[in-house]
A and B are shown apart, each in its own frame.
Chain A
Amino acid sequence: MTLSLTETFVQLLYLGASILFVLGLKDLGDAQTARRGVLLAEIGMVAAVAGTLLYGVGVTQVIVRWEWIVVALLIGSAVGTGMGLWIPMTKMPERIALSHAFGGLAVGLVGVVEYLQHGGPHMTTLQITATGLEVALGALTFTGSIMAFGKLQGFITGRPVTYPGQNLSNMLMIVGTLGLIGLLVYSPDASWAFYSVAALGVLLGVLLVLPIGGADMPVVICLLNSYAGLAAAATGFALGNNVLIICGALDGFSGFLLGMMMSKAMNRSFANVLFGAFGAAPEAKAVTEGAAPSGPAPNVGSVEEAAEVLRAARSVIVVPGYGMAVSQAQHAVRDLANVLQANGCDVRYAIHPVAGRMPGHMNVLLAEANVPYDHLFDLDVINDDFTATDVALVVGANDVVNPAARSNQSSPIYGMPILSADMAKTCVVLKRSLNPGFAGIENELFVRSNTMMVLGDAKKTLMQFTAALRE
Chain B
Amino acid sequence: MTLVLDRVTRQVGGLTHIYETSLELAAGSLNILLGPTLAGKTSLMRLMAGLDRPTTGRLLVDGVNVTGSGVRDRSVAMVYQQFINYPSFTVYDNIASPLRRSGLARNALDQRVRAMAASLHIDGLLDRMPSELSGGQQQRTALARALVKDSDLLLLDEPLVNLDYKLREGLREELRGIFRTGTATVVYATTEPHEALMLGGDTIVVDAGRILQTGPTAHVFRNPASTRVGEVFSDPPMNMVDGTIDTDAATLGQGVRVPLAPHMKALQPGRYRFGVRANYLFVSPQDADDIAFSAQVELAEISGSETFIHVSNADFKWVAQEEGVHGFDLGQSITLYLSPRHLLVFGQDDTLVAAPEPTTPERANGPHRT
Partners in one complex: no
A interface with B by C-beta (< 8 Å): none
